[in-house]
Amino acid sequence: KAGVTQTPRYLIKTRGQQVTLSCSPISGHRSVSWYQQTPGQGLQFLFEYFSETQRNKGNFPGRFSGRQFSNSRSEMNVSTLELGDSALYLCASSLEGSFTDTQYFGPGTRLTVL
Protein backbone atom coordinates (compact mmCIF):
# COMPACT_ATOMS: atom_id res chain seq x y z
CA LYS A 1 0.00 0.00 0.00
CA ALA A 2 1.46 3.37 -0.95
CA GLY A 3 2.34 5.74 1.86
CA VAL A 4 1.40 9.35 2.39
CA THR A 5 2.62 11.54 -0.45
CA GLN A 6 3.21 15.25 -0.40
CA THR A 7 3.85 17.66 -3.22
CA PRO A 8 5.89 19.60 -3.88
CA ARG A 9 8.83 18.44 -1.80
CA TYR A 10 10.55 21.82 -1.87
CA LEU A 11 9.29 25.36 -2.34
CA ILE A 12 10.94 28.74 -2.29
CA LYS A 13 8.71 31.78 -1.96
CA THR A 14 9.13 35.42 -1.05
CA ARG A 15 7.43 37.35 1.71
CA GLY A 16 3.87 38.33 0.95
CA GLN A 17 3.26 35.52 -1.50
CA GLN A 18 0.90 32.64 -0.88
CA VAL A 19 1.53 28.93 -1.20
CA THR A 20 -0.52 25.74 -1.53
CA LEU A 21 0.75 22.38 -0.40
CA SER A 22 -0.84 19.07 -1.28
CA CYS A 23 -1.18 15.79 0.58
CA SER A 24 -2.50 12.43 -0.56
CA PRO A 25 -3.28 10.07 2.32
CA ILE A 26 -2.85 6.35 2.46
CA SER A 27 -5.64 4.63 0.56
CA GLY A 28 -8.63 4.14 2.84
CA HIS A 29 -7.55 6.78 5.33
CA ARG A 30 -10.09 9.54 5.76
CA SER A 31 -8.37 11.77 8.28
CA VAL A 32 -5.56 14.13 7.33
CA SER A 33 -3.62 16.18 9.87
CA TRP A 34 -1.07 18.87 9.14
CA TYR A 35 1.93 19.78 11.26
CA GLN A 36 4.63 22.43 11.09
CA GLN A 37 8.16 21.41 12.03
CA THR A 38 10.77 24.04 12.83
CA PRO A 39 14.06 23.83 14.76
CA GLY A 40 12.81 26.28 17.36
CA GLN A 41 9.23 25.15 17.94
CA GLY A 42 9.47 21.48 17.00
CA LEU A 43 6.38 19.76 15.65
CA GLN A 44 3.20 21.73 16.06
CA PHE A 45 -0.31 20.69 15.07
CA LEU A 46 -1.97 22.91 12.47
CA PHE A 47 -5.34 21.29 11.77
CA GLU A 48 -7.14 18.06 10.96
CA TYR A 49 -9.66 17.26 8.27
CA PHE A 50 -12.15 14.44 8.06
CA SER A 51 -14.88 14.00 5.47
CA GLU A 52 -14.06 17.37 3.92
CA THR A 53 -14.57 19.15 7.26
CA GLN A 54 -12.04 20.77 9.53
CA ARG A 55 -12.57 19.01 12.79
CA ASN A 56 -9.70 20.32 14.86
CA LYS A 57 -7.40 23.30 14.77
CA GLY A 58 -4.15 24.29 16.42
CA ASN A 59 -3.00 27.74 17.47
CA PHE A 60 -1.99 29.22 14.16
CA PRO A 61 -3.14 32.49 12.59
CA GLY A 62 -5.88 32.59 10.00
CA ARG A 63 -3.29 32.88 7.25
CA PHE A 64 -3.02 29.12 7.55
CA SER A 65 -5.97 27.32 6.05
CA GLY A 66 -6.76 24.02 4.48
CA ARG A 67 -9.34 21.92 2.82
CA GLN A 68 -10.07 18.32 2.03
CA PHE A 69 -11.58 16.83 -1.06
CA SER A 70 -14.03 13.99 -1.45
CA ASN A 71 -11.17 11.58 -2.22
CA SER A 72 -9.58 12.55 1.14
CA ARG A 73 -6.72 14.41 -0.51
CA SER A 74 -5.95 17.60 1.37
CA GLU A 75 -4.40 20.94 0.61
CA MET A 76 -2.92 23.49 2.94
CA ASN A 77 -2.69 27.16 2.05
CA VAL A 78 -0.58 29.85 3.64
CA SER A 79 -1.30 33.40 2.57
CA THR A 80 0.84 36.51 3.00
CA LEU A 81 3.94 34.50 3.76
CA GLU A 82 6.29 35.65 6.50
CA LEU A 83 9.93 34.72 7.05
CA GLY A 84 8.88 32.74 10.11
CA ASP A 85 6.73 30.46 7.98
CA SER A 86 9.88 28.76 6.71
CA ALA A 87 9.50 25.20 7.92
CA LEU A 88 8.93 21.59 7.04
CA TYR A 89 5.20 21.00 6.66
CA LEU A 90 4.18 17.47 7.41
CA CYS A 91 0.98 15.73 6.56
CA ALA A 92 -0.21 12.65 8.41
CA SER A 93 -3.09 10.36 7.63
CA SER A 94 -5.07 7.93 9.73
CA LEU A 95 -8.18 5.90 9.32
CA GLU A 96 -10.54 8.24 11.13
CA GLY A 97 -8.39 10.55 13.23
CA SER A 98 -9.88 9.14 16.38
CA PHE A 99 -8.17 8.83 19.71
CA THR A 100 -7.18 5.24 19.01
CA ASP A 101 -5.83 5.79 15.52
CA THR A 102 -2.19 5.76 14.49
CA GLN A 103 -0.97 8.56 12.26
CA TYR A 104 1.36 7.89 9.36
CA PHE A 105 3.47 10.71 8.08
CA GLY A 106 4.50 11.85 4.64
CA PRO A 107 7.97 13.11 3.68
CA GLY A 108 6.98 16.74 4.09
CA THR A 109 7.22 19.89 2.03
CA ARG A 110 10.20 22.09 2.82
CA LEU A 111 9.07 25.72 2.48
CA THR A 112 11.65 28.48 2.43
CA VAL A 113 10.44 32.07 2.59
CA LEU A 114 12.93 34.70 1.45
Partner 1 sequence: AQSVSQHNHHVILSEAASLELGCNYSYGGTVNLFWYVQYPGQHLQLLLKYFSGDPLVKGIKGFEAEFIKSKFSFNLRKPSVQWSDTAEYFCAVNAKTTDSWGKLQFGAGTQVVVTP
Residues that bind partner 1 (CB under 8 A): 4, 31-33, 35, 42-45, 48-50, 55-56, 58, 90, 92, 94, 97-108
- How far apart CA 3 and CA 113 sit, in angstroms, is 28
- Nearest CA to 25 out of 114, 98, 96, 82 is that of 96
Q: How far is the CB of 83 from partner 1 (least distance, A)?
A: 22
Identify which of residues 35 and 81 has a Cβ nearer to partner 1 in the complex: 35
Nearer to partner 1, 17 or 44 (CB): 44
Whole-number minimum distance, CB 39 to partner 1, in Å? 10
Q: How far is the CB of 20 from partner 1 (least distance, A)?
A: 20
CB of 14 to partner 1, least distance (A): 26
Q: Is the Cβ of residue 81 or residue 87 nearer to partner 1 in the bound state?
A: 87
Residue 21 or 81: the one with the smaller Cβ distance to partner 1 is 21
